[in-house]
Amino acid sequence: WFSKFREVDFARAGNKATYAVSLDTGPLEQFPHSMEPQLRQGGGATTFQRVVTLLSDYEVCKEGDVLTPEQARVLKLFGYEMAEFKVTIKFLWNSETGDFQKLVGD
């Protein structure tokens, strides 16, 4: 079961971008006004004109980039999931004997 288990998740700082993400100029109506400073901190040129508005096209990341905390935050705000969560069992513990068995080499 564990060998097949995969769950898509949001990338974190230090992860590599699996694809490029660019945002187009214009209103970002999905965000409340309180989010505008966070978007600006992420590197996008924004303003508030009744709704949060991106003033110019913004390249969040390129494929293969190592993500900064700001890039990871912007990707999460826009719902881009680039990470994969998986479980790799490396050791097995036998509760009866107290022995450990190494399952994978590293």
Q: Where are the domains of the chain?
A: 11-82
Comparing 2 with 56, the larger pLDDT belongs to 56
According to the model, what pLDDT value does residue 42 have?
A: 75
User: How far from 74 is each of 1, 15, 40, 86, 97, CA to CA, in Å?
Assistant: 33, 14, 10, 23, 49
- Can you identify the CATH homologous superfamily of domain 11-82? Ribosomal protein L10, N-terminal fragment, domain II (3.90.105.20)
pLDDT digits (tens, 9 = 90+) for 7-20: 888 999 999 999 99
State yes or no: pLDDT of 105 exceeds 70. no
pLDDT digits (tens, 9 = 90+) for 45-98: 888 888 888 888 989 999 999 999 999 999 999 999 998 888 888 888 888 888
State yes or no: pLDDT of 106 exceeds 80. no
Half-sphere exposure of 3 (CA within 13 A, CB side): 3
